[in-house]
Structure 1
């Protein structure tokens, strides 16, 4: 068994070609699917989906961390910019995320700590990309 594979069960997904550069994917057990589109016309591109996955993964952790501090999040949105290499493959070389957080009683220091923990410790998606790829972030704490 590979290092770190104890604990959570493996993720099992199914992806089906839908024509052109479009693919539909979802959990192997069924349920909702998402459309990926290499051209970005009918859904996010695979690289967009990576950014969405990192933001969503860190978002789950941020909401949980702040809830444990008894400062629940009222709204959270993220803007993701994935910088890509100019060479083939045009891999992601840096990820910048702006977190917009709103919630009564949320202090800047607590929100920053929640983001830092989510990005550097808890988010399994972000931790799965090349360690040389920085995930940088900024916080906009809204009233």
Structure 2
């Protein structure tokens, strides 16, 4: 299977990129880099992609396992290299689960299944970054 994404320049440093499903995302640079901050930066979008990919896995797995939780968020941190080309060489992914009587064993299993088996974006990141993960439970 292959995907095609069309990214169209909208002026200055702003770009609009589509998705095979037709949804759009705006990318832009910060004012200190000549942009207007009117969209997500391409590097930050990589961190969002990593969190989104793993998050979709985790929620799907927990639904199949019938594991309840009231809220879930992923905090993703990327450390950039000093030299060009500048890229994330260290990434930390923190999974935060909220709810009453969280089933920590099943949640940990779901997160690990995403990290180790299902999340393709995680696998791509492994090619260039040291990745650390953590799970936090908020009962």
Structure 1 portions without partners, runs of 5+? 1-8
Matching residue of 1:24: 16
C-alpha contact 2:67 2:106 (8 A) present in aligned 1: no
Higher share in helix: 2
C-alpha contact 1:82 1:96 (8 A) present in aligned 2: yes
Q: How far apart, in 2, do the equivalents of 1:98 and 1:44 lie?
A: 21
Q: How far apart, in 2, do the equivalents of 1:61 and 1:100 lie?
A: 15
Give the drift of 1:131. 2.4
Matching residue of 2:33: none
Equivalenced residues, count: 134
C-alpha contact 2:58 2:114 (8 A) present in aligned 1: yes
1:63 alignment partner, one of 34, 43, 59: 59
1:18-66 per-position Cα deviation (integer Å, ceiling 9, x unaligned): 1222111112563x21111122711211110000000000000111111
TM-score normalised over the length of structure 2: 0.85
Structure 2 portions without partners, runs of 5+? 31-35
Q: List 4+ stretches of structure 1 deviating above 4 A.
A: none
